[in-house]
Structure 1
Amino acid sequence: MTGRKKEALTQFHKKNILDTAEKLFSEKGIRQTTMDDIAKAADYSKSTIYVYFQSKDEIYNHIIYGHMCRLKDALAECIREAPDLEHRYFLICEKLSRFYEQYPLYFSSILGNIPVDDQALAGSEILRLLYDVGEDINDCILELFRQGIREGSLPSSIPVLPSAFTLWASLGSLIPMAYEKECYLIKRLNMDKTEFLQHGFRMLLRSLKEDC
């Protein structure tokens, strides 16, 4: 078998394992899913699964990486295509909301903690990939601020890095709350999740535009 065919076969098996694992994670939960479950559902022996992935954590990290790459591409498109700060900002909010709606199981992991220890990153290819794509996502949010400053839509005095991280953290908390507590929001505020999110998004944008 040529090297190209061997690599194609490896990628085929990896994709099959990852697709199967993701389906099981959604159906049974991540903790409840075992390597035995994945092997049985994917129609591989358990030893074959370990040829491609060292652990369930590694499988999970590869799934997260795939979603992070798609999110990065979506955010980069918002930055590239939208004509001004407000359009870029609300497109990013929309993409994140849609992402949560489609992949609630992975949302917190994507916006959550990623190892930054140099030794850990050097010893794991997938952790390094996660770190790098996470930095690419951060760069998209930073570019939102940089373009806003260049266009005069944001004050030049705004501290870009802490403001970008604060915005990211705020969106990462606001969106899950709106989806998970919609019944309470309707009862207490007479607002559904979409109305509440639009209120929150507008409030965050107003705070960004204030002269720091």
Structure 2
Amino acid sequence: AGERLQTGVTACMQRLSLAGGRFVVALLDEVEPTAHGSERVDFLVAANAGLPPGPLARVASGGELSRIGLALSTVSAAALAAGTLVFDEVDAGIGGGVAEVVGRLLQELGTQRQVLCVTHLAQVAACARQQFRVAKAVREGVTTSHVEALSADQRVDELARMIGGMQITDTTRAHARELLATLAPGSHLQAPAGS
């Protein structure tokens, strides 16, 4: 099982722009056997080519940790019966083309089971089959969260906001439409007004 996990995670790391990276499952003998056996399992990683594997927490940056976590989840999800996978900012510390790769991998996972992903990156959000906006508000000293399913037009505006900040322009809307045209699964959305 450890060898399959090691091979699968290493292969997934390559897809997630960790070229030359390796994931190692190390079995270390315990001095005293425990209720869990006589060996301890350690996950070691070399995030880049030419580096020796080391403890995950010491050798990986925030963005690398996010991608390695996604690789672990992707590989282990195949063995799990879970119908829903939840990722909370699995794209932390990344951007650009790597964000698109992460979005496409999440999209691929979504063909096998339900995937819920909290993201702040337009490239990841554009890969979703359905997009929701979560907003917090403080009313009478109490913070509440509101979740709203987005229509096609609202989705374009939300992606434009994710791309350009609070100032939504024709340019950011055009970029949002382009992301949806290239990344949305099967472009299931009707073309938003103004397309």
- Which TM-score applies when normalising by structure 2? 0.29
RCO higher in 1 or 2 (8 Å CA, sep ≥ 6)? 1
- Larger proportion of strand: 2
Higher helix content, 1 or 2 = 1
